Amino acid sequence: MSTIRIRSPAAYWLAVPAALWMLCAVVVPALLILWVSFWGGRQFSAASPLVLDNYTRFFGNQTYMNLIVQTLIHTATLMAICGVLGYCIAYFLVVKVRNAKLRTALFLAFIIPFWTSALIRAIAWVPFLGTNGVINNALMGLGLIDRPVEVFLYSRTGISMAQVSLYTLMASGPVVYMLAQIPPALREAAMTLKAPPGVVFWRIIFPLTLPGVVIGQVLVFLNVMADFATVATIGGNKIALLANLILNFYEGAQIRAAAVVSVILMACMLIGVVAAMRVVDIRKLGA
């Protein structure tokens, strides 16, 4: 057991390296982006005056406003899908699989594909989603369609399918941890008292795992909001979300516009995380 008190000088000194890293890697770049987003004038330089014109032009464009709404709707949809699938997977692994070796094997089979790059896994979806891909060939083989359909690749459907495969693990991981902390005797006691399985789940299991659910949803939310690689790979030039708009502005040398969108994206993420922290005390995750 550590002898260092929580608010002792030694505890603060131990936090200094991490604080300096966060300051240099997160806080300073974010403040720099915020500063650039207010640059005005014709010249792109540090001497440019600070104005609100960049934000006025952005919020005055209805297309950009629709893009924000579409990004939030898409992210909420992915959070719901990944949350349900992730919870089902976690519940099956922890509660239903009794054999420890089988549980470990299934868990490894679930996480090993995530050891590869997210970009590689996104690209790997292209042969599955194309008109001559695995999904279309399987559907035609089953007689469900007469000819290949183009709804999967270069569409929001394909993007959603790829992102669900990428981020379901993030939604299930914290839930696995929380479920493993629940004593089996607690469920058995409730069942002994004639509580139906549904009541046991909603009154006991789910409330105890809620911190893990929230943590998983936060992870999915942050990653989907910032994911431009999957959208660009699967969606091509037909589909774009807020993160892709930053890339488009940057490639077009519109640095101030890219900074504006970056600030808006960071603000959306911050608001989402703060809202999640209001739902449940995530400090219970480590209790």
- CA neighbor of 123 nearest in space, from 240, 236, 233, 235: 233
Looking at domain 61-286, what is its CATH homologous superfamily?
MetI-like (1.10.3720.10)
Percent residues over pLDDT 90 in the chain: 28
Where are the domains positioned within the chain? 61-286
Alpha-carbon torsion (173, 176, 181, 182), positive or negative:
positive
Query: When comparing pLDDT for 54 and 41, which is higher?
Result: 54
Q: State the CB neighbour count (10 A cutoff) for residue 265.
A: 19
Which tokens go with 120? 């590689």
Q: How confident is the model at residue 95 (pLDDT cuts 50, 70, 90)?
A: confident
Assess whether pLDDT exceeds 70 at residue 283: no
pLDDT attached to residue 220: 94
Per-residue pLDDT tens over the stretch 118-161: 778 888 888 888 778 788 888 888 888 888 777 788 888 888 98
Q: State the CB neighbour count (10 A cutoff) for residue 215.
A: 21
Per-residue pLDDT tens over the stretch 196-233: 878 888 888 898 888 889 999 999 999 999 988 888 88
Indicate the Cα dihedral angle 183, 184, 185, 187, nearest 10°: 110
- CA neighbor of 223 nearest in space, from 282, 168, 261, 278: 168
Q: What would the mean pLDDT of 106-125 be, rounded to a whole number?
A: 79
Residue 50's DSSP bridge partners are 39
Per-residue pLDDT tens over the stretch 248-268: 898 888 889 999 999 999 999
CA 112 to chain centre: 19
- CA neighbor of 158 nearest in space, from 131, 188, 182, 180: 131
Q: Locate tokens 């890293």: which residue?
A: 21
* Whether 174 contacts 215, CB under 8 Å: yes
pLDDT attached to residue 5: 66
